[in-house]
C-alpha cells in the first residue's frame, strides 16, 4: 500500500495572463512516497524524531539531566535512527496526541509523523 504525501512549500497563484519568467521558476513540490520500503520509513522517522526532540526531548533524551526513567523506557531520542526500536503499539497514540495539536509543528511534519506512526504500526503487527 502506498500513500503519497505532497509537501508543498509555495502557493501557486493564478493570473489573468500567463507569463513566463526566464530567470526563476517555482520550486517543484517535494514528495514523500510512503510505503513499507525502508527509505520512506526512515525519512518519516527522522522528521518525527526531530519534532519529538523539540517537544519531548527533556524527558526522552537519556543524555539530559531532565530525562525521566519511565520516558526512556518508552523511547530514547538519543539512540539516533534507532530511537523507535523499543516503541510498542500502545505508545503510538501518545506520540500522535502530543504532536498533532502543536502550533509549532508544520502540516508537512504532522503528515510525516502520521505516516511514520502508520508504518510503525504495520511493522509491529
**79-100: per-residue pLDDT in tens?**
999 999 999 999 999 999 999 8
User: Is position 29 within any domain?
Assistant: no
Tell me how far apart the alpha carbons of residues 77 and 11 are, in angstroms, rounded to a whole number: 34
Say which residue, 20 or 78, is predicted with more confidence.
78
Model confidence, pTM = 0.70
Residue pair 91/117 in contact (Cβ under 8 Å)? The answer is: no
User: Is position 57 within any domain?
Assistant: yes
Q: What is the pLDDT of residue 35?
A: 58
Per the structure, the count of domains in the chain is 1
Domain span at 113? 37-124
Say which residue, 104 or 40, is predicted with more confidence.
104
Enter the C-alpha cell of residue 37.
Answer: 520500503
User: Is position 67 within any domain?
Assistant: yes
Amino acid at each position: 500500500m502506498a500513500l503519497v504525501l505532497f509537501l508543498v512549500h509555495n502557493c501557486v497563484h493564478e493570473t489573468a495572463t500567463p507569463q513566463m519568467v526566464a530567470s526563476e521558476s517555482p520550486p517543484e513540490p517535494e514528495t514523500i512516497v510512503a510505503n513499507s520500503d525502508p527509505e520512506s520509513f526512515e525519512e518519516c522517522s527522522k522528521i518525527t524524531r526531530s519534532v519529538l526532540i523539540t517537544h519531548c526531548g527533556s524527558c526522552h533524551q537519556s543524555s539530559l539531566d531532565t530525562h525521566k526513567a519511565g520516558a526512556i523506557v518508552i523511547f530514547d531520542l538519543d539512540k539516533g535512527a534507532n530511537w523507535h526500536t523499543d516503541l510498542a503499539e500502545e505508545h503510538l497514540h501518545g506520540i500522535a496526541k502530543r504532536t498533532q495539536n502543536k502550533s509549532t509543528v508544520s502540516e508537512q511534519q504532522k503528515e510525516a509523523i502520521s505516516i511514520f506512526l502508520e508504518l510503525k504500526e504495520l511493522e509491529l503487527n
